[in-house]
Chain A
Amino acid sequence: MKKSRLIAASVAMIATTGLLLSGCSAGAADTGEKQLTFMFRGGEDEKAAYTTAIKAFEEANDVKVKIISTTADDYSTKLKAAIAGKQIPDVFYIAQGDIQAYVNNGVVLDITEYVEGSDTLDLDNIWEYGVDSYRFDGSLVGEGAIYALPKDVGPFSFGYNKSMFEAAGIPLPDVDVPLTLEEFVDISKQLTKDLNGDGELDQWGTGLNVQWSLQSFAWSNGADFLNEDRTKVTVDTPEFAEALQWFADLSNVEGVTPSTAQAQTLDTYQRWMSGQIAFFPVGPWDVSTYAELDFDWDLIPYPAGKTGESATWVGSLGIAVGSTTEDPELSAKLVEYLSADVTAQQTLVDAGVQIPNLKDMADTWVADSTSKPANKQEFLDIVNGYGRALPANNTYNAEWYDELFTNIQPVLDGKQTAADYLKEAQPKMQAFLDDANAQAGIG
């Protein structure tokens, strides 16, 4: 009796350990059925949308999909742990900026042949930007074989408070011609005022976060972060300095933003939502929240610098196939369902968290005048035209890019000139970029 109890205890213990271990491993099929794992992050809307898409996929292909969902914050850490533990999910979300490193290290699979010859999806019906973001030819992102399809594309557009303009009797900005920087400052000044007469400002022209809005003004002023082949950091140009200085001056000289040293989004985001700010960025993910606001708002092109042409960035998240998958073709098919399934796309669009991935669906969506914003076309113009990738998304890692923002505060506070700061920052950024390119084996 006793002996058997001991044996039972040991067996139980070993079994527990075994369970723990197998619990970590993805894709251990417990039936004879084929099984794929899909790892993603997202909110309730994504979960709901993908449940239907995955069900359709399961029925059509006689497989089971095991869904691993994490919070947005945990995703990157958990995915990297899974990769380091050699348990790459069959299908998973991949950040735009990770494509180069993941391809170089053989984590994701080339799915070009599957998606190009696919009968479930028409590649020409998906935004070029979305697909091209996941192309990589060994040295440049944007060209070559396809390694993922977009989960979404996220054009970072610019909005204005229509009700505030009307109340102030200011003509509404043109939806086709971008404001010049001078016009933008001029309107902002007119709208920065003390409405209740208590001696303190309670309405402002704008309030932008340097990390998300600087790109737009730098680009439209003719500057860029990197040279063409992404080997040199080019933030030390006069155009770049001019754009950054102008950005800092919005607070320090023009005084059209809520108090100095207040570029924190939290404040201005909430002020925008309570109707105290005239101009504010709008992404597709904001639309459902902003639709509830009690003022009218719409999208306009980003104000443009010297080049006279708007510029802004487009984010994206991809869905890739893990290199260790047992069934590449089936995994690629799942990617297609998730990226382009009509029902799933419609669910996500209706939830107001993204714009359609499919061009034909986008056309009907734009034509719909019942939902906000009226100028939905602006989102599409960005994706199709003047939107670019965030600078760090095309490099091996983001260390060089983050460096720009690490020490930028004195410029925003008006304690250092933009030109001085950029001259200091460029060599440091260059060193990080060289390091990244060396690791990636290019440059």
Chain B
Amino acid sequence: MTEVTPDKETRGGEPPPSAPPPASPPDNGWRKEYWSRNLRLMVILLAIWFIVSFGFGILLVEPLNNIVIAGFPLGFWFAQQGSIYVFVILIFVYAKLMDRLDNQFGVDEQEIQEAGK
């Protein structure tokens, strides 16, 4: 609250316009950016999650079953093997990319780990 009051005075009672970077407290800019990048990554990975499992394994299983590889009808393979491999990879990719994101924004838990030692 105390931080906002001087701002309002300089603008003479106008409603604050979509906050320009210098006006926002130093905190909030990176927070929004970090969170929206996290959400974007999440949505992309969940889209892959849905396409591989519900898409290939259930909704499109019948047409895909016409393709047979190494004895496996392809839809059947996605449903009983492929989707599980993809799930494992998705979580790994998420963990790795979030490491990088945390690092970029300086919110990784380095200090905590060092303090733990």
Whether A associates with B in a native complex is no
Q: Residues of A with Cβ closer than 8 Å to B?
A: none
Q: Residues of B with Cβ closer than 8 Å to A?
A: none
